[in-house]
Amino acid sequence: MLALFLLYPTLDIIRLSFANARLDTEQLSYSLDNYRILITGKQFSGILFVTLIFVFFSVVFQLFLGFSVARLIQAGEDRHLRGTLFVRTAVLTGWVIPGIIVGVVWNLLLTESRMGILNYWAESSGIGHIPFLSDPTWALVSVIAANIWRGTAASMIMEYAGLKMLPRELHEAAVMDGAPFLKETFFVTIPAMRNIIFTNLVLISISTVNTFDSIIALTGGGPGRSTEVLALSVYRTVFQDFNLGRGAATAVVLLIVNLIMTFIYSRIIRGDAEGSAA
């Protein structure tokens, strides 16, 4: 089953990446032209830059917010505060909602018509109209914000599980020494969760690089190509430009990026296992 539905399509995409394949013709010839055009083309370099910005800010804020929410929930549970279960459930909502729905919901929030919720608040408070989806910079900020909202939940799950795995003695020793909450977090909790944080970093990086659904529902990659990332570029190249070969070459680049991050993840897991065995 894996060979049929995973291995064969992957090998076929690699084959097509060297061909001048198009959806509107059956004539094939093989060369390195697709990769040459990708490497030398300004359009592809722009897509890589957008992808880098999108991944960097998404991952940084997902990691920070996911850990912060998980740490606050744990602190609330330690103090037996009410509402921690509700907060945890509310954050998880962003994880279970499909990406297409996330894009549609954020489009309703950010649309620049009179129906736009955030623009209505901005104009009512005197800030003025904000071109969330028509200005290239604002559009990129918007898709990053939507992805952070969605990805923070997955990050929080892993960080919360990591916090639960820490020995209670670490927390109790810090409390007995009179360490404040922030000092305990930075000098005790974070160093003890180093491997979990690194693993979370790689996993959310892989997920963010492959983000496609929420962006196509929110901006469609526009205005122009200002929010077009690698995964969305594959879709547009194949199904809008009908250039199957070049789309396959872009997909191979995306595959290589994922393999590199998967290799890093496997090294982290192996190092963690070896450290535990020692």
What would the pLDDT profile of 207-245 be if each residue is shown by its tens digit?
899 888 889 999 888 888 899 999 999 888 888 888 889
CB 47, CB 228: distance < 8 Å: yes
Per-residue pLDDT, 2: 83
Give the fold, CATH level 3, of 45-277: MetI-like fold (1.10.3720)
Exposed e or buried b per residue across 174-194, where buried means at least 16 C-beta atoms within 10 angstroms of its C-beta: beeeebeeeebbeebbeebbe
Q: How far is CA 181 from the centre of its chain?
A: 29
What would the pLDDT profile of 61-107 be if each residue is shown by its tens digit?
999 999 999 888 888 887 888 888 888 888 877 778 888 898 989 98
Per-residue pLDDT, 58: 94
What would the pLDDT profile of 132-179 be if each residue is shown by its tens digit?
888 999 999 999 999 999 889 889 988 988 888 888 777 777 777 777
The structure tokens listed for 269 are 């897991």
223 prior amide bond cis, ω within 30: yes
Instruction: Tell me how far apart the alpha carbons of residues 19 and 11 are, in angstroms, rounded to a whole number.
Output: 13
Put simply, whether the predicted model's pTM sits higher than 0.75 gets the answer: yes
Q: How far is CA 1 from the centre of its chain?
A: 28
Instruction: Tell me how far apart the alpha carbons of residues 3 and 10 are, in angstroms, rounded to a whole number.
Output: 10
Provide, rounded to the nearest whole percent, the portion of the chain with pLDDT above 90: 19
Range 37-41 contact pairs with CB under 8 angstroms and sequence separation of 24 or more: 37/246, 38/246, 38/249, 38/250, 38/253
What would the pLDDT profile of 107-139 be if each residue is shown by its tens digit?
889 888 777 888 888 888 888 888 888 899 999
Per-residue pLDDT, 83: 82
CB 133, CB 139: distance < 8 Å: yes
Phi, psi angle pair for 32, to nearest 5°: -100, 15
Domain range list for the chain: 45-277
CB 152, CB 62: distance < 8 Å: yes
Per-residue pLDDT, 148: 93
The structure tokens listed for 197 are 């944080």
Instruction: Tell me how far apart the alpha carbons of residues 1 and 129 are, in angstroms, rounded to a whole number.
Output: 53
Query: 275 falls in which pLDDT band (50, 70, 90)?
Result: low
What would the pLDDT profile of 25-62 be if each residue is shown by its tens digit?
777 888 888 899 888 877 888 888 999 999 999 999 99
Residue among 96, 35, 46 at smallest CA distance from 250 = 35
pLDDT at 270 > cutoff 80 = no
Residue among 126, 92, 93, 133 at smallest CA distance from 109 = 133
- H helices within the chain, ranges in order? 2, 8-16, 33-40, 42-78, 84-96, 99-110, 117-124, 136-165, 168-176, 181-184, 190-192, 194-209, 213-218, 230-239, 244-277
Q: Is the dihedral of CA 196, 201, 204, 209 positive or negative?
A: negative
Phi, psi angle pair for 31, to nearest 5°: -165, -175
